[in-house]
Every structure is written in C-alpha cells, then in structure tokens.
Structure 1
Amino acid sequence: MRCDCNGRSRYCLRDAGGLHCVDCQGHFEGRHCERCKDGFHQQGTLPSCTPCRCNPTGAVSTTCDSRGRCSCKDGVTGDKCDRCPDGPIGATGCKQSRQPRQDSGNCFCYGHSSRCSAKTGYSVHNITSTFASGPDGWRAATARGDTPPDVHFRWSPKHQDLEVISKNSLPVYLYAPARYLGNRLLSYGQNFSFSLRLDRGVRHPSVSDVILEGNGLKVTASLGELRSIVPCGKKVHYSFRLDEQPSSRWRPQISSAQFHSLLQNLTAIKIRVTFGENGELPVSYFPFRYFLRPGSFLLIQTLLFHNSFYTSYFINK
C-alpha cells in the first residue's frame, strides 16, 4: 500500500485500517497529514499551517477558522479577539457596560432598523455545543431516524469533537438535541451556523444537506452549488439565515407566516455528514469523517433579540 501523506511526511505506520502517516511536517496532523493542528490554520495553498494567535483572554479557544479568525467571548471583538468596545482588551477582559447589551452586527428588524439591543427584562441567548464533556445530546442517524449498524458515531475527549463514520449508501445526518428545538420564534431572521470538515473523498452537495422540520413543514438547503465539490480536509463554515427570503437558500420557498409556524414548533434540525456519489462509497478505511469542533467552530449559534421580533419594541440605534 502507498504511503499517502499529501507530501507532508515520508513515514507511515500500519494499523488495522492500513497505513497512517507519522511525523507530519508544517504543523499538520491526521491519518494523511490532511489538516492543521489545533491552534493553526492553512492560508490558501501555503505549504504549512499558520498559528491562529488567538488572544488567550478574549478567545473561547485556541482554534480559528480558515481565515485566521478566532471565536470571541461575549463583548470581545476583533479577528484575534483582542478588542473591546472601548479599545484594546485588558488583562482581565472587557469591562461590563451598564448600558443595554447591543450585538456587534446587524440584526433583522423588518427594515425598520439595522441595530438592536435586548429589551429590559430580556437578554441575548446563545445556544451552543462545545463538546467539552461529551456529544451534548447530538446523535447520528439516517433521514428517517434509523442508525444502521455500519454507521459509527463517537465523541473524542482528546479533540473535543464528534466523528461520524459510515460505509452505508444512505446519507447520515446529525440530529440536534431537544434544547435546540421547540418554540424558536425569536430566532426568526437570525443566523444558524456551523462548521464541518470532510476527512477524505470527493463529494458533491445535495438539495437536502440541512433540514429544518416543524408543524408539518420542512425546508432544506444545500451546502453549496450542486455541481460544486465539498472541500476535503478543510474546515468549512456554513451559515443560514432563519427566514423565507430567497437569499437564505431554503427550499421550497415558503411564506413568512409558514416560516414563523415552522419555528414556533421546531421538531428537528438535521445536518448531513456523509456524502456518497451515485450511491457508491469508496472501499477504504473510515471513508467518511466529519468533525464538529468547539470554540470558533460552534455548531449552532442562535441570537434571540426580543425587540427585533416584536415591532412594538423597535429601538433605533
């Protein structure tokens, strides 16, 4: 068997799955030296990984996205999480403001405002999964909810991520736990975001890579153009806005009232994590892997703005 290390190592060891690379160069790791180590990212086609350099005080973790942007704690901004609203971050972080909390980006207010803050008595609520102590209620199954015996799902305590391995021809999805479901009306117009990485193989997106279900309604979205290729070995960030606008890419396109109805009783969130081509899977060890990482790779971040949903509470900034 050939030692396939993407040109980043000349040494392999044999195990039950065949050959795996050792001594990967350029801060790479993985069975085929295909991904950057935690705390590093790859810039374009550079032959080595670049340090993330996340600010340890302001960042959630040492990881960053493909552009080197770190995931920041509440109230902290900047690509490296080194800025506060009033200037550079201090040794103890950002000072808490007595003013109502305001999101650093735009929010959805039906065109009446481009900024919003939490109404008195309400607060912004983030729903996240860090996988620091387990799978956090996530599970892997087919679109019908079945888990075939040749689909393997595990949590890695070392990397604090989830791994899905399948040799089944049916697409496998990750199902969100109950705390992401139920009445999510206040999430209307906000972003639903996650990051994934395909370990090996060349696979094309489908029309049903992301699925939302609720109140007898279902909308789906693709992870890219249907003729495109899902990137292999790279963490890719995806974000979908929770509304009926064409730019949000949900299909079929439903009315605003229907989308509100779906969110009022959200019963399922499914994210596709295996990609076969024409129903055929390559014969190789662990043909499909997806990793969900914490920190800058929060699985889902939903911002709930009370006053951006109810028109009687618009606050222009």
Structure 2
Amino acid sequence: MAAKSLSCLCLLCILSGIAYPASATRPGEQQQSVLKVCAKGFFLSEQNICLPCNCKGHADYCEDITGICINCRDHSAGDFCEMCEDGYMLAPSLDRRHSCRPCACPLSVPSNNFAVHCDRGGTVLRCKCQEGYAGHFCERCAPGYYGNPMAIGNSCKRCDCNGNSDPNLIFNECHNVTGHCQHCWGNTAGANCERCAPGFYGDAITDKNCRECMCNKCGTSSCDDRTGVCHCKPGVTGRLCDQCEEGYSGFSSCQGCRRCECGPASVRSTCHPLTHSCPCRPGAGGRYCERCLPGYWDYSPSGCKKCDCEKGHCDMHTRRVPARGCNSQPTQFQGWRNKSSAIKAQTGELEEATDTVVLDIRQLGESESVVMTLGNRLDNDTSETLTLAEQLSTNLTDLNIRIEEMIHDWELYSVHQDVDPEVVRRNTEEAQGMVAWMRKLDLSPREPIATD
C-alpha cells in the first residue's frame, strides 16, 4: 500500500515539471523583452537605438542594422542614394542636399539625353554616350546610325540597308541624318537598298538575286524591278520591246516608233519599219505616197494618170500643159537645174584653188628640204672650224711654253756668256711681249650653229 502511494506521488511531480518548467514565465509574471519599432526616417541599430537614415533626403525608409536606403527616388541610386541613375549627374543644392539633374548630352530634356554617364571636369561637361551616339555631347549619330539627336524627340537609329550596302564602307553605310543608304551593293537601289537598280530585276531583300533585264535598251523605257517585264516606249512592242508596232516605224532612233501616215495612194496603210516609207500605187510618189510623180496627174487612191505629153510635164491636178509646151520643165525643176549648175561652177573653182594649195605645199616642202640641207652643211663646216681652232689653240699653247723655255735658256746663257746686257734686255722684252699678245688671243671653242 505504501509503495503504491509513492508511485502516485512521483507521477504527480513529473506532470508538475512539464506544466511549469523552470525557465518559463510563471502565471502572473510580466514578459521582459518587447519588440522596438523606429519612426519614419529612422532605423534600429545593433545597439537597439533608433538612428536617422542617411538617404540624402531621397528615401523615407532604410533597413534596420545596415541603414541601407529603400526605394531611392529623384533619379538617385546607391546604398545611401548618394549616386545618380544613368543619364543623370550630381548637382549641389542650397540645402546641402545633392540632386540628380539630367545630363545635357546633348539636351537636358529626358527625351534627348543619350548619355550613360556624365560628369564635369572643371567647367567642361563630359558625356559617356549610349551605343549609336558620338561627339563630346552625344550630339550626332555614330557611324552606322542615323538621326538628329539635337532635335527634341529625335534619336539615332541603326542604318537599315537590308544587308545590301558596300561591305568596304561600313562606316559610311547611310546618311547620318536622313538614313538613306549611300552605297548599295549587288545591283540594288532605293533609300534602304530594298529593290533592284534600274535595268535589273529580282528579289533584293531575301534572295538577293538582282540580275540584268533582257529588254532591248533602245526600245525599253523601264524594266519591272521585281518581274523583269519590259515596259516599251511609245509605238514599240514585243516581249523584249525590240520592234515597232504595226503601222509604226523609226525603231533605230531609240526615241520610240512613230505612226506611219501613208497617203490614200499607198498600197497598204503600214510603212516600212526601217525606212519609214510607204509603197505607192502607179503614178504616185513621195515618202508617204501623198502626191503624183512628175509627168502624172489626177491623184486618187488608185494612183495617178500619165500626162499626154510623153516627155513633158502637166499640172498634177488639172492635166493642163504648161504654156511653154510639153518639152518645158516646171519652174521648180528649172530652179534645181540652175542651182546644180552654180554648184558645179563653184566646185570647179574650189578644185582649182585646191590644186594651187597643193602646189604651194609641195614647193614649201622642197624649200624646207633645201634649208635642211644647208643647215646640215653649216653644222658640218662649223664642226670642222671648231676642230681646227682647238688644234690651233693647242699649238699656240705649246709655242708659248717653248718661248718661255727659250727665255729661260737665254737668261742662263747671258749669265755664262759675255753678252751685252742691253741686247739681253731688249730680246727679253720682245719675247715677253709676244707671249703677252698670244695670251690675249680668244681661242675658246664656240657651239656650232644648228638649224631645225
């Protein structure tokens, strides 16, 4: 019985320990630790103290412990809003709070601010431009781009030449303002090299197979740049625009074909495609069979009738014989004969004048030959004279040397021999005079006189 009571007591103690552990707060006791919350613009430090956020006035909240700013505004960035977003630069303010202003690269409005970063080196603004922009202030488009960054709302876009620009001119692919491609490649054309050039057809964008049109160049005004269909000039026909239409002629002029205006007396309404003349019925004449031939009259669709005068001419409308008789010629033909006679006379005079000119030319040629012969002879004589002069100069030089030697020998002789000093002096002066005279002679060679 006692053992059973002890067991019950132990079980009660165990249950009491579970319900009220030693470290737990007993009922009636107040909890010591309280969660602390800082006001707006402050953060809780490690020392459990609320400190002001250092966000330069560009954020309302920051993280506890670290103080890192949350949601920086006004285009600021960084852990403490101490930097600016791309395209903005720091600018001091009166309240000692820095602000972020748009880079004027090239304009300060957001739509035309194309800088990744900018700063001031002293008083000079330095811009680091986005891709596609160039210049100190990003004021122009880089090679391969086009546009006008200086115009509000405008920007630089990549050139679009459909891959048909000259690969050797990649830095000058299109106009830097208009974007028009300047060097289309592969027989292409257009502002974006989007079609085949004139005279070529095919697919310039996908297949890139622009090839030359097969049209006749003389009769074609244009060729469809997609299908190659030939568009002919006026009056020209054929798949390749290579012939005149029925009733037209003059293809070889390359100005299109002209309509034939054959007269009623023509055998058919169409003229010859090359000569542009019409085949006439008997008695009719003219390029288009529009009148009677000389000696014929009464023009009609069946032709003209022959005049009664076998060798003469009659009026092609009235059949009347000229007052001068059947053998007389019309005034028009007489005028032609007079002109022909005058031309023949002028031709004869011209032939005579030509013969005279030819004769003068021949005489001039002969005179020139004589002058050339005399000139050659003069050159030869001059050359011989120069040769003789050179020989004479050489001989005189030798003579001069010999005379000086003789003077020297004479002086020696006069010393060793008993000669009158006056004779020695006189002979010496004469010899020296001869030498001086010879030295004054101008024996230098001169160039020969040549004639052309």
- Quick check: which one's strand share is greater? 1
Q: Same fold (TM over 0.5)?
A: no
TM-score w.r.t. length of structure 2: 0.19
Larger relative contact order, structure 1 or 2 (CA cutoff 8 Å, min sep 6) = 1
Q: Which has the higher helix share?
A: 2
